[in-house]
Structure 1
């Protein structure tokens, strides 16, 4: 029986250049089980990817802050407090680092993302003062509410779909995938994964990025 999937996007469904690997448009629409895109990106990004792949919009976005399954949307996390951290961070000389348009945060509803070239120590200091967390995904620093995790989102998605999280195969590459690995039945870290993801995964793959993800899908399909 083909298992449902919980897949990170950046570093997992992408090329080393950070672009979506075109092979996702062949493999995931043909997958004969639910596919959940679980990402740190703002809500519209995974929704759009589902749309263009032609698969149901089943999404965990913003590190668990937004969940969409079976046309039900839920929000977790204190966006106002995350914004307060960002404002105070900038008042103390920091910068979010995305430029005037800031398309990284423009549609973000539960957290704030900061470019990794910015002052991490200052950001963490300010976040601690507001009792907020900073998660390093390898692509950005995410200021979020404690307890908001991708894994919590997967529990919610599984409940909505009438599945058990133990049914899921999860693939990811970073610290924010650790909670997903903790609730999924099987977890795989691609070769480019950070140390926290590698330590949490059941298996660390020899291949990176989409090559690694494809190796998992080929191994678990129709078994």
Structure 2
């Protein structure tokens, strides 16, 4: 067994985005530290850890926010002010974030901002580049974030604070925002529904998709 860093969307979920309840017990019983690493805002992985019943160890906002119950320290990196400038220029050009009038996706974000995957990507990327930012396409949203922030940076921070080398982690994910963690991990798995970037960076690609793929990866790690 080894420490585990795991994505949420597309990895712990079904195809419809709902959490697959079969993932709960394997995470609860994993004997080494489990870190939930996601592009979602901070409250989502916190809530997930609490409902699953595991210590709150999280990398949120694609590496922009890191919290560990072990030392009760919350760290932020990134540039939300610049992300906000990107979003303002994007909306001033007539584009929409695509979340409706009550935007829970961005309401609690501290280090980045996200645009619905149904919105236009090209102008968002152009504005982000002009502002010195970048866009992560996670398959669920377009995340405007600082170029120095990714989940790999978050995993290094977690490793330092837990005194665990990133190469001692197993990582499971599905998206380009997981690739930086894959590069650091001792072993990495992309679930079969993963995007091309994740699959190219992973050591292994599961045969099954979504949570089935995650469970397949955990079984391989146990063996």
Unaligned runs of 5+ in 2: none
Query: For each residue in 1:73-115, what CA deviation from the matched residue of structure 2 results, as whole angstroms up to 9, or x when unmatched?
Result: 1000011110111111000111100011100000011000000
Query: For 1:46 and 1:155, how far apart are their aligned partners in 2?
Result: 18
> 2:140 maps to which residue?
139
Question: Which ranges of 4 or more aligned residues in structure 1 deviate by more than 4 Å?
Answer: none
Q: Distance in 2 between matches of 1:45 and 1:195?
A: 26
* Correspondence 1:104-119 to 2 at 5 A: 104-119=105-120
CA apart distance, 1:17: 1.0
* 2:78 is equivalent to residue 54 of structure 1: no
Structure 1 residue aligned with 2:40: 41
Aligned length: 221
Gaps of 5+ in 1: none
SS in 2 for 1:23: helix
Residues 13-162 of structure 1: pairs in structure 2 closer than 5 A: 13-69=12-68, 70=70, 71-162=72-163
Could you report, residue by residue, the CA deviation over 1:34-77 in whole angstroms, capped at 9, with x for unpaired residues? 00000000011001000111111000000000011222110000
- Aligned counterparts of 1:124 and 1:216: Cα–Cα separation in 2: 33
In the aligned structure 1, how far is the partner of 2:81 from the partner of 2:73?
A: 23
Q: CA RMSD in A?
A: 0.8
Residue 119 of structure 1: how far off its partner (Å) = 1.2
| Aligned twin of 1:3 | 2
Separation in structure 1 between the aligned mates of residue 102 and residue 57 of structure 2, nearest angstrom: 28
TM-score (ref. length: structure 2) = 0.97
Instruction: State the Cα deviation string for residues 8-37 of structure 1 (Å, max 9, x = none).
Output: 000000011110110122111111110000
